[in-house]
Each structure stands twice: as structure tokens, then as C-alpha cells.
């Protein structure tokens, strides 16, 4: 029996965050993650790189400078001796059919805009993960406090039971039951400690820190009502979701791709100018205009056009599927959030106060022998269970709201004190 306090002390000393005074700020975690996370940095560099691709796509192909030598026979150098001999230089430039360069630049611009939305989606996803983990860490830390509270109540009940048993008013079975429940609470402490460690390691992973990097205890997460209705959230999803924006831009890019494939049926041009030096004879000048003939259009251009049309159709279907999926996820998260919100109010305003009163009554009656130990034990377990369910639903509300934020692009959880924009 005397080993139990020492075991309990060991659990506390190994629990992450025990004895730490500094509170973990949600705002600081989010800003640090956005600054350090490798996925965000990768998406940022890719977005920056895509912008440098626009100008080259809208630029003419590189010109070609050519050098030539015309010589009569191979036995001697005839430039300056023969009229047909000469040394020439030429300049040629391919000119795409009007509209092709504009379409290529527009397509590159759409891809750059897509990469911006990918970056935005990556940031929102990371922010959602941080907020989910923060709410879970809050749940584990506060649940640990509740288990400590339960252990304290059980120890009080054990002392009362031992006193009653010593004067012949109680039974030894009550003492054994209390000891089993205390040991069970210590087991729960170990489980919560492990879950908190894993959660802290996951947060450090997103921050690009070592898993063992110390993190403080999370601040109290507030309860507030989800005051936006479902229609407002669905509208915000359609207008602001980076995932939908990205797919919409992809549809626009594929539409331009169809236009580009149609333009490929039209020929490109080639302009060439040159000068030939003939020594004592008059120099010769040459200007030539060439036209590419799409002679194999049935095998080449026609197939490329059909490919572009199918890709456009696929992009449209993907966009519609994403819209439906996003609407379904918003609806699901909204219902989960509203359910958690209702349960939080119920636990806070009715169930927990009633459970407290029931426990106080059982404890008072057990002391004077008007209630049995099982009733007291049941009320202790019920109170702690209800308080943990309250915390679980509070964490679940934050998780649901964080998912809604990712889908809608809105900022509903402003900071750890519940402020909003």
C-alpha cells in the first residue's frame, strides 16, 4: 500500500508538461509551423517557380544564326574567283501562328495560379492539423487532471472506508474495491501520459523539430457557439476553398488547351534573311518566308485535339466531384460541431452540476452509514466520466471547426482565447 504514492509520483514526474509554467500558445504554434514546415516551404518554392514560366511560354522561339560556304570544287578556294562562290551569314526566326503564344502564356499563368492555391491549401491543411493536435493535447492534459481528481476522491473514500471498518461499521470488500479503483486510475494516468507524448511528438513533427523537443501545456480552449449556418458555410466553400479554386483553374487551363490544340491545325511561319560575301563580286542578299504544312494532321493534330477535349471533360468531372465532396464534408463537420456544441452545453449546465450534487450527497451519507460504498464509487466514476466527456466534446468541437476552416478558407478559431476576425 505504501508503494502506491511513490508510483503515483513517478507517473507525475514522467508526464510531459508536468511542472511547466509556460503555456503553449496556439497562435505561436500555427505561425511557427507555417514558417518551418517542409511541405509548406516546398509548395511555396514551387509557386514561386511557376511564375517564372509565364514569360518564356509567351516568347518567340530562339532565332537561328547560320553560316555558309559555297565553293567550286574541292581542289582550291574559289571565293573571289568564281561568281557562284561566297561566304554567307543568315538569320532565321520561327513565328507561331497568331494566338498560339498568347494561349501558351495564359496556360502557364493558370498553372501558376493553381500552384498558389496549392500553397494556400497546404497552409490551411497544416493549420487544421495543428489545431486538431492542440485540442487533443488539451484533452489529454485536462483528462489527466480529472484522473488525479478521481484518485483523490477515491483516496478519501478509502480513508473513510478504513475508518468505518476499524470501528466495525464497514466491510473489508469496500477497501479492496477502493484500492482496485485507485490502481485503475494510475493505469489511466500512464495511458494519458503516453497519448500526450505521442501528440507532442506529432506537433514537433509538423514544426520540423525533434520529437523530444519540450512543449508546454496548452491554454484553456474556450467554448463558443458555431454561429454560422450551413448555407453560409456551403457558400464560403464554393467561393473560398483553395481545393475548389485549384480544380476550377485546372478546368480553365484545359479549356485553353483545347483552343491551343485547335490552333495547331494552323501553320507556323519561318522568316529568313541572309547575306553572301563574294569578294570582288557584288554581295548577294536573300530573304525567304517558309510555312509549316500540317500534312499529317489526321495522325497528329486531330489526335491531340481529341486528347485535349477528353482532358477538359475529365477536369470538369473532377471539379464537380470535388464540389460534391466538399459540400458533404462541410455538412458532416457542421453536424458534428453542432452536436458537440449541444452536448457541451448539456454537460456544463445540467449533467455535471447534478453529478456533483449526487456525489456530495453520497459522500455525506456514506460517512454516516446511510449509503453503501458501491453507490459512492458509482457517483465518483460518473462525475469524472461526465467531466471527461465534456472535455472530449469540447476538443471535438474544435476539431470539427478546424476542418470547416480548411474547407471554407474562413478563420473561425482566431486564437487560443477564442477571438475571431
Work out how many domains the chain is built from and give that number: 1
Mean pLDDT score, 373-394 = 91
Confidence tier at 414 by pLDDT (50, 70, 90): low
Residues 38 and 32: their CA atoms lie apart, in Å, by: 12
The answer to whether residue 416 is domain-embedded is: no
pLDDT in tens, 162-210: 777 676 776 777 788 888 888 999 999 999 999 999 999 999 999 999 9
Q: What is the C-alpha separation between 159 and 119, in angstroms, rounded?
A: 60
Q: So what's the pLDDT on residue 12?
A: 39
Residue 154 lies in a domain: yes
Listed range (106-115, 160-169, 309-318, 385-394) with the worst mean pLDDT: 160-169
Residue 42 lies in a domain: yes
| pLDDT surpassing 70 at residue 418 | no
Contact 112, 249 (CB under 8 A): no
Rounded to an integer, the average pLDDT of 252-269 is 95
Residue 420 domain-assigned (yes or no): no
The average pLDDT across 270-276 equals 94
Average confidence (pLDDT) over 67-80 = 86
196 lies in which domain range?
3-408
Could you report the per-residue pLDDT of 126-144, keeping only the tens digit for each? 999 999 999 999 999 999 9
Q: The CATH number of the domain where 288 resides is what?
A: 1.20.1600.10
- Return the pLDDT at 365: 85
Q: What is the pLDDT of residue 280?
A: 86
* For residue 417, pLDDT beyond 70: no
pLDDT at residue 10 is higher than 60? no
> Given the C-alpha cell 483516496, which residue does it identify?
155
Q: Which of 109, 111, 103 is nearest to 246 (CA)?
A: 111
**Domain assignment of residue 414, yes or no:** no
Give a yes or no: residue 419 inside a domain: no
In a domain, 194, yes or no: yes
Average pLDDT over residues 37-64: 94
For the cut 60, the answer to whether the pLDDT of residue 410 exceeds it is yes
Alpha helices of 87-171 — where are they, by DSSP H?
Answer: 100-166
pLDDT at residue number 373? 80
- Would 135 be classed as within a structural domain? yes
Amino acid at each position: 500500500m505504501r508503494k502506491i504514492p511513490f508510483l503515483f509520483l513517478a507517473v507525475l514526474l514522467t508526464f510531459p508538461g508536468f511542472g511547466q509554467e509556460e503555456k503553449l500558445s496556439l497562435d505561436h504554434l500555427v505561425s511557427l509551423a507555417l514558417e518551418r514546415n517542409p511541405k509548406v516551404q516546398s509548395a511555396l518554392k514551387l509557386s514561386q517557380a511557376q511564375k517564372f514560366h509565364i514569360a518564356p511560354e509567351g516568347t518567340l522561339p530562339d532565332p537561328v544564326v547560320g553560316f555558309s560556304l559555297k565553293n567550286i570544287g574541292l581542289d582550291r578556294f574559289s571565293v573571289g574567283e568564281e561568281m557562284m562562290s561566297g561566304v554567307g551569314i543568315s538569320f532565321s526566326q520561327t513565328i507561331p501562328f497568331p494566338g498560339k503564344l498568347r494561349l501558351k502564356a495564359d496556360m502557364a499563368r493558370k498553372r501558376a495560379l493553381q500552384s498558389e492555391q496549392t500553397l494556400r491549401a497546404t497552409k490551411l491543411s497544416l493549420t487544421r492539423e495543428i489545431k486538431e493536435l492542440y485540442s487533443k493535447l488539451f484533452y489529454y492534459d485536462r483528462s489527466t487532471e480529472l484522473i488525479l481528481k478521481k484518485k483523490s476522491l477515491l483516496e478519501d473514500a478509502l480513508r473513510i472506508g478504513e475508518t468505518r471498518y476499524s470501528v466495525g461499521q464497514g466491510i473489508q470488500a469496500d477497501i479492496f474495491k477502493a484500492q482496485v479503483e485507485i490502481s485503475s486510475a494510475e493505469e489511466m494516468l500512464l495511458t494519458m501520459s503516453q497519448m500526450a507524448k505521442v501528440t507532442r511528438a506529432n506537433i514537433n513533427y509538423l514544426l520540423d523539430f525533434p520529437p523530444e523537443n519540450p512543449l508546454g501545456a496548452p491554454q484553456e480552449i474556450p467554448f463558443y457557439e458555431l454561429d454560422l449556418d450551413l448555407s453560409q458555410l456551403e457558400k464560403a466553400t464554393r467561393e473560398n476553398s483553395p481545393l475548389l479554386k485549384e480544380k476550377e483553374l485546372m478546368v480553365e487551363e484545359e479549356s485553353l488547351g483545347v483552343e491551343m490544340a485547335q490552333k495547331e491545325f494552323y501553320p507556323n511561319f519561318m522568316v529568313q534573311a541572309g547575306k553572301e560575301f563574294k569578294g570582288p563580286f557584288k554581295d548577294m542578299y536573300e530573304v525567304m518566308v517558309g510555312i509549316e504544312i500540317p500534312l499529317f494532321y489526321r495522325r497528329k493534330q486531330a489526335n491531340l485535339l481529341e486528347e485535349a477535349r477528353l482532358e477538359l471533360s475529365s477536369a470538369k468531372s473532377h471539379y464537380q466531384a470535388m464540389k460534391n465532396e466538399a459540400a458533404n464534408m462541410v455538412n458532416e463537420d457542421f453536424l458534428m460541431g453542432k452536436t458537440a456544441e449541444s452536448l457541451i452545453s448539456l454537460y456544463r449546465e445540467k449533467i455535471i452540476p447534478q453529478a456533483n450534487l449526487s456525489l456530495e450527497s453520497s459522500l455525506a451519507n456514506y460517512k454516516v452509514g446511510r449509503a453503501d460504498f458501491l453507490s459512492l464509487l458509482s457517483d465518483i466514476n460518473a462525475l469524472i466520466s461526465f467531466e471527461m466527456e465534456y472535455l472530449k466534446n469540447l476538443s471535438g468541437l474544435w476539431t470539427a471547426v478546424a476542418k470547416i476552416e480548411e474547407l471554407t478558407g474562413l478563420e473561425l478559431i482566431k486564437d487560443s482565447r477564442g477571438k475571431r476576425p
